[in-house]
Amino acid sequence: MSKPYKISSESDHLLVEEPTYYYYAQKRLPIFELTAFQKMKIIKDGISKLYLEGFKKIAALDYNILAAALSVTRATLINKKGASKFNETLSERILGLADIYAFGYDIFEDKNNFNKWMLTSNQALGGYAPIEMVTNQYGREEVRNIIGRIAYGVIS
């Protein structure tokens, strides 16, 4: 069943109001399928507060958990308004987290199950929940690797 997606033009790529997808050259792509150059362009343009709000809703995260995952204060996320954009550093973290969620949604094939998995302690992560490990690039890579192992049937 196809959903109608609200699209807004931003430079030469199109941003979809569904936070784990982008439209690029009129193609709907999960974030994890974008090239590094496409991701760098999105980061350079900045991620908007509207995008973050959409991601927060789909990922079923509150501001406290989201702020901890992005290594910023809760106020940093709350004080930004509407279409105003975050700086490149925070935009990169937001896109990195959305990238993991997009990949997880694809592998788990159920957003609710993946959202629960992200909040559940995991033995492969030393007893930490995946959301607790995504505060830096190395943690995001490790969580992504575990999702990849799940895709291949390796118990993780």
pLDDT at 13: 42
pLDDT at 20: 66
pLDDT at 7: 38
Q: How confident is the prediction along the chain (156 residues), in pLDDT tens digits per residue?
A: 444 434 344 443 444 446 666 655 556 677 888 889 988 999 999 999 998 998 999 999 999 999 999 999 999 999 999 889 999 999 999 999 999 999 999 999 999 999 999 999 999 999 999 999 999 999 999 999 999 999 998 876
Cα 58 to the center of its chain, rounded Å: 10
Report the distance separating Cα 101 and Cα 124, nearest Å: 18
pLDDT at 61: 97
Report the distance separating Cα 71 and Cα 16, nearest Å: 25
Locate the domains of the chain by residue range.
7-151
Compute and round to an integer the Cα radius of gyration of the chain. 15
